[in-house]
Amino acid sequence: MEINSNRNEGIPKRHVAVFVFPFSSHPPLLLTLVRMLASAAPNVIFSFFGTAKSNQALFSDQKYNNIRPYDVSDGIPKDYVFMGKPQEDINLFLAVAEEEFRKGVKVVEKDIGLKIGCLLVDSFFWFLADMADEMSIPWVSFWTAGANSLSAHFYTDLIRQKYDEIKGTVGPDDEIADLIPGLKTVRISDLPGEVVLGNLESPFSTMLHKMARSLPRATAVPINSFDELDPELNKNLSSQFNNFLNIGPFNLISKENSLSKVDEFSCLSWLDNQKPRSVAYICFGTFFKPPPHELVELAEALEETQTSFLWSIKSDSNKHFPKGFLERICANGTGKVVPWAPQIQVLEHSAIGVFITHGGWNSMLESLGVGVPMICRPFVGDQQLNTWMIERVWGIGAKIEGGRFTKHGTACALKQFLSSNELSIGRKKRIEALKELAHKAVEPNGGSTKNFKTLVDMITSATL
């Protein structure tokens, strides 16, 4: 009897095609969502479309029962020579993506023996709205960052129009009130480059602009955030989209990702020997690093202020450090430089007092989830706008003075964040309050948990 019922459970009842944007932090984040869905809905089979490169990074040492990777072309012609143009690989991929997805759908339907019943896609892929319509199936458009940047892209036309009207009187670095619904004030220079100031004709900008028009057609727009973080933005976006669903923070729901990797460079045992809240943890993610002269300024500021620090940075940057820096900090144990650190566990450690970050959405959520304030040095995309929110709206961190590391500005920031002055205490209180709300959101009765159940129902329900 038991065996029979198990066997029944094993028969897939529904087939979902997942289309990933195969660059930067998008694939692991979408996989995290798919893994959450796959374990909540064991009868659903997920065909996970990525490039060979992105899929290999995700699936090479992990296999999942009802998630099947499927490789599509990266669009790079044979013998192609990269010219070093910005976003060259992204543009090559975007040129073939739709056709590749369409071809792939036929293949996986045949392989699995089940028609695709739902599309789960990175929001970037606006053109899949038509594909879902043609197939008469729902599509779920997953935005991998926050409601702030989603809003900036969604209201791009409105922002461009308003900015055109006031351009003579205000510059890109002036604060403008009521530019975006839900953000009290913001500066044009803090918006993602694709909105106003960047190359608006690039394939990437065009894609984001078209995305804005397609989003209201989606069956659901889930994001990795929680309702209480941006109540006004959420309220407004909920009025524009079908089922705008805050289902995060993922880092508080699905911890396995980081736990599966061991602490090969002994960061945690090193932290065990540091004083509480005394260490600056420095990491700019896998894809960004400050230019060499800024690395020097940051290193000099750390030495000058005698700040204890743990710095996760690929070893090809070591040559840029000031002469003797690594030897000096190793000799007396003030700091530790490693090529990789288990970020979530590091941030959770009681020795960490501040996180020096690029202000990426995931890093921000990870820091917030454990109540660690941030010093931000934003680079691209949503990082400027996140930094703006971190400093001006949530009050849980600050942008490095001038947006770049200088010895003086960094030393001031370190002193301010690692001392227990009034400003630091206020920040700490605010981040603790948000941290509590984030944890509540993912409890059994929390908003994100409820929203996630809604999403699971949509994906599993045959009636849609």
Ligand X SMILES: *[C@@H]1O[C@H](CO)[C@@H](O)[C@H](O)[C@H]1NC(C)=O
Contact with ligand X (CB under 6 A) among 73, 87, 185, 334: 334
Which residues ranging from 6 to 25 are in contact with ligand X (CB under 6 A)?
none
Contact with ligand X (CB under 6 A) among 100, 227, 303, 391: 303
Collect all residues with Cβ–Cβ distance below 8 Å to 313 and sequence separation of at least 6. 282, 283, 284, 289, 337, 338, 339
Residue at 294: amino acid letter: E
Considering only CA atoms, which of 363, 318, 359, 357 is closest in space to residue 337?
318
Q: Which of these is catalytic: 15, 74, 79, 122?
A: 122
122 catalytic residue (yes or no) = yes
Cβ nearer to ligand X, comparing 31 with 147: 147
The site that binds ligand X (CB under 6 A) totals a number of residues, namely 8
Cβ nearer to ligand X, comparing 67 with 351: 351
- First vs last C-alpha separation in the chain: 32
Question: What is the distance of C-alpha 204 from the center of its chain?
Answer: 17
Contact with ligand X (CB under 6 A) among 4, 269, 332, 445: 332
Distances from the Cα of 401 to the Cα of 201, 289, 376, 438, angstroms = 31, 17, 9, 29
Cβ nearer to ligand X, comparing 73 with 240: 240
* Strand, helix or coil for residue 247: coil
Which residues ranging from 382 to 421 are in contact with ligand X (CB under 6 A)?
none
Contact with ligand X (CB under 6 A) among 28, 172, 181, 203: 181
Are the CB atoms for 104 and 70 separated by under 8 Å?
A: yes
* Strand, helix or coil for residue 381: coil
Q: Which of these is catalytic: 15, 26, 153, 349?
A: 26
Cβ nearer to ligand X, comparing 214 with 345: 214
How many CB atoms lie under 10 A from the CB of residue 46? 28
Binding flag, residue 28, ligand X (CB under 6 A): no
Phi and psi angles of residue 38, each rounded to the nearest 5 degrees, phi first: -65, -35
Contact with ligand X (CB under 6 A) among 6, 239, 445, 463: 239
Tokens of 402: 């001038």
Cβ nearer to ligand X, comparing 254 with 334: 334
Binding flag, residue 273, ligand X (CB under 6 A): no
Q: How far is the CB of 239 from ligand X (least distance, A)?
A: 4
Are the CB atoms for 118 and 140 separated by under 8 Å?
A: yes
Name the segment binding ligand X (CB under 6 A); options: 94-102, 259-267, 272-280, 326-334. 326-334
79 catalytic residue (yes or no) = no
Q: How far is the CB of 149 from ligand X (least distance, A)?
A: 16
Contact with ligand X (CB under 6 A) among 328, 408, 429, 453: 328
Q: How far is the CB of 407 from ligand X (least distance, A)?
A: 13
Name the segment binding ligand X (CB under 6 A); options: 61-69, 161-169, 309-317, 327-335. 327-335
Q: How far is the CB of 271 from ligand X (least distance, A)?
A: 17
The residues that bridge with 222 in the sheet, in sequence order, are 245
* Beta strand ranges found along 112-214 (DSSP E): 116-122, 139-142, 175-180, 183-187
Contact with ligand X (CB under 6 A) among 161, 286, 306, 421: 306
Distances from the Cα of 216 to the Cα of 179, 196, 408, 413, angstroms = 21, 22, 47, 42
Q: Give the C-alpha separation, 427 to 439, whole Å.
A: 18
Cβ nearer to ligand X, comparing 86 with 333: 333
Binding flag, residue 236, ligand X (CB under 6 A): yes
Give contact residues for ligand X (rule: CB under 6 A): 181, 236, 239, 303, 306, 328, 332, 334
List, by residue number, the catalytic residues: 26, 122
